[in-house]
Structure 1
């Protein structure tokens, strides 16, 4: 593999390792084994790919990157690094500015009032999607995993479900782009789309019955209503932040369960185990490669880092840390006993994913509603499963089959 990036002078030669999570062939065909094998690399290494960036391997160090905003700023999240012309609120803010926005969003957009009907709505959408499957088979990615998260979110925002494909077009560019140009184009298209949509909604907000949109209108930051620029930024973050990630997580979890009858049957027979089992699967099947920028020159775990260096804190890497987990590639629903496994799948610290509850709800409903309806679930015969690399890892396609009963 070749790279045009010059290795910075402060990077020791022995710490240079190629790792291109957007384009490496190995990550397409057996991504989790490939990531688990990073245990043979230095704890912190520098990849000259994707513009050049540090890769953090120990889960405890990844947690520090997530939590220590004084050393690792969230003002730059993308790898490869993109310009800061489009800001996502609150994702691109550090405390204390981040704190006020996140608190207001958590107390309004993700409040019990805004999400009051999320359980029945999610079940209804999931059942409708299942009922549209050809009896006994489906292509899970396109027929369910892409549709459920965006339909739920469009419903919360009071947006017409016919807008699904328009949103997906730029979401795929942002998360699946293989270069800075492609991901940048995704953000440009997203910015334009959200601008038009939001202006239409604000022209007559009484027409929009979406509970999350109405919460956005009621929200105040430091006792002031957000202006249009802030509302657009928050809306763009909401549209882009949780759709691809939930879709990606669904594909890996269903792939695993389709190939593991014992794990699947346990969840069918003991649905009360789903909350604990889900956390273990979130640990095992991490999906996100999250960027930070070094805020100031400092030494981190014995490595000299310079202000402006890009850093990757990958949740798949954290979840497969062999120093943290015994047999990390194994899915063990009893790994934590009756307690939930603590993992970094939703990040940590001030930027802990604000939509974690929403994600867990959709994943739980998927397991509760689909597994009992798919007896003898299996991967379609002669199928080659391929991972689709990007800012998140997901499967390109997942053809599933199951027995049809009267």
Structure 2
């Protein structure tokens, strides 16, 4: 069977079906009341969502909006956890809230398996990825990641102010994921474009969003073809050849999983590294302590993940029901705000404070339930190494007043620009 047989016409037909289910709802615009009209795509949410979440947790623990065609936002840890674990009543076939609801026919696989997959398919799709993300497999990438971090800082030599997001944080997961998938490292700028289109362009009309997604999948198709013609020891070749229930994966499964790794694997870690550097730049006491006590970094890192968890996932309500005191309708979105859950004072002592020596810290930064991040070991390694190298090379640094810090909008929140004075 040729590459075009497996990844050609069928792939195109699958892609052309993606517009089904589109509802061109308006998402952005001034919020009248966060309890009844919330929008996580607004700049004030991106800049500082925590006061909004705290207010909602007190007066309206499950907020509602008519935007996006109808959505809910639980803010208590217990509600977020309950929905994350409830695969009977909530579907994962769409995990990014937008003006597009994928068709029901996509379940149980979804467009980016396994994170978009429902049971029982999810279990098998996730298990295929586990070998690439074990602690042992991740440890083999540490030395190369550390050397790359040093090279990034070498390139900043002589600058008094650097953009720690654009010049440092974003490049680390882009290089790691490119190496894992066997993609050209020089394609990094394209990866950034794919990430921003997928996660921040959620209010673009379908005629804009669809060509953007086609561009991503065209890129993935090119990489798949190259790997079929020239197999090598990487994750793409593995996905092309691996079997599930005695059959090779469908082309849409291969491309969807690659899209997941490329987008989620980059933006979540990029955001976590950037948010951690932002905190240390504005909190001299924590920075100084970590420089003096580097052995504290693994504990501090978990606290930074709790306090600045980058990821909010979504579910779709399967059937009309009364849940948690509200009436949810079939096909309503539910935003699972792991950042809000992580700051629930009913779950964490001093929840609003960043306590870098916090000992008990069962945070939800990597999600909860069956979709807990399969790449958590990899993300932790990248974050730890990035911070170790930065603190070694720049033991003294702080926020610069040369330009504002800007934050990504949407469901993955992290600094997009982060001016830091290092000289």
Give TM-score scaled by structure 1 length: 0.88
The 2-side partners of 1:78 and 1:392 are apart by 10
Matches within 5 A, 1:109-258: 109-111=132-134, 114-115=137-138, 117-135=140-158, 136-181=160-205, 184-205=210-231, 208-210=232-234, 212-217=235-240, 219-258=242-281
Partner of 1:395: 415
- Whether the 8 Å contact between 2:111 and 2:253 is mirrored in structure 1 is no
Secondary structure in structure 2 of the residue aligned to 1:242 = helix
Query: What number of residue pairs does the alignment pair up?
Result: 386
Deviation string 1:127-181 (CA, Å, 9 cap, x unpaired) is: 1111111434311111111111111110112211111112221211111114053
2:387 pairs with 1:361: no
In the TM superposition, what is the alpha-carbon distance from 1:218 to its structure 2 partner?
Answer: 5.4
Deviation at 1:29, TM superposition (A): 3.3
Equivalent pair of 1:385/1:395 in contact (CA under 8 Å)? yes
Structure-2 change in CA distance of 1:81 and 1:179 (3 Å): closer
Q: Structure 1 residues 158-167 or 212-221, which shifts more?
A: 212-221
Is the 8 Å Cα contact of residues 74 and 92 (structure 1) preserved in structure 2? yes
Alpha carbons 1:18, 1:47 under 8 Å: kept:
yes
- The aligned counterpart of 1:66 is 84
Match of 1:18 in 2: 37
Q: 1:124 to 1:289 in 2, by over 3 A?
A: same
Q: Separation in 1 of the partners of 2:137 and 2:376?
A: 15
Change (3 A) 1:47 1:83: closer
Displacement, 1:289?
Answer: 2.4
Q: Take 1:289 and 1:114, find their aligned partners in 2: how far apart are those partners?
A: 27
Distance 1:222 1:110, change over 3 A: farther
Q: Is the 8 A contact 2:37 2:66 kept in 1?
A: yes
CA distance in structure 2 between the aligned counterparts of 1:199 and 1:373, rounded to whole angstroms: 41
* Distance of aligned partners of 1:15 and 1:305 in 2 relative to their CA distance in 1, 3 Å threshold: farther
Deviates more, 1:184-193 or 1:236-245: 184-193
8 Å contact from structure 2 (residues 25, 99) kept in 1: no
Q: Deviations over 1:335-358 (max 9, x none)?
A: 3x3x4x111111111100111111
User: Which segments of 5 or more consecutive residues in structure 1 lack a partner in the other structure?
Assistant: 6-13
Residue 288 of structure 1 corresponds to 311
Inter-CA distance 383–35: structure 2 relative to 1 (3 Å threshold): farther
* Structure-2 residue corresponding to 1:11: none
Residue 248 of structure 2 aligns to a residue in which SS? coil
Cα distance in 2, alignment partners of residues 291 and 141 from structure 1: 26
Q: Name the structure 2 match of 1:279.
A: 302
Post-superposition offset of 1:329 = 2.2
Alpha-carbon distance change, 113 to 184 in structure 1, aligned in 2, over 3 angstroms? farther
Runs ≥4 in structure 1, deviation > 6 angstroms? none
**TM-score, reference length from structure 2:** 0.84
User: Measured at CA, do residues 227 and 160 of structure 1 come closer, stay the same or move farther in structure 2, by a change above 3 Å?
Assistant: same
When residues 134 and 38 of structure 1 are mapped into structure 2, their CA distance, relative to the original with a 3 A threshold, is: farther
- How far residue 113 of structure 1 moved from its aligned partner, in angstroms, is 6.5
For the aligned residue pairs, the C-alpha RMSD in angstroms reads 2.4
Give the SS at the match of 2:420. strand
SS at match of 1:46: strand
Are the aligned partners of 2:310 and 2:412 in contact in 1 as well (CA < 8 Å)?
A: yes
Structure 2 portions without partners, runs of 5+: 1-23, 27-32, 104-109
- The Cα offsets for residues 231-277 of structure 1, whole Å up to 9 and x where unpaired, read as 22221221122111111112211100011111112222222222221
Preserved contact between residue 379 and residue 400 of structure 1 (Cα < 8 Å): yes
- Could you tell me whether the CA contact under 8 Å between 1:387 and 1:396 is conserved in 2? yes
Describe the SS at the equivalent of 2:315.
strand
Distance 1:113 1:198, change over 3 A: farther
Q: Is 1:90 aligned to 2:114, yes or no?
A: yes
Partner of 1:55: 73
For the Cα contact (< 8 Å) 2:305–2:365, is it kept in 1? yes
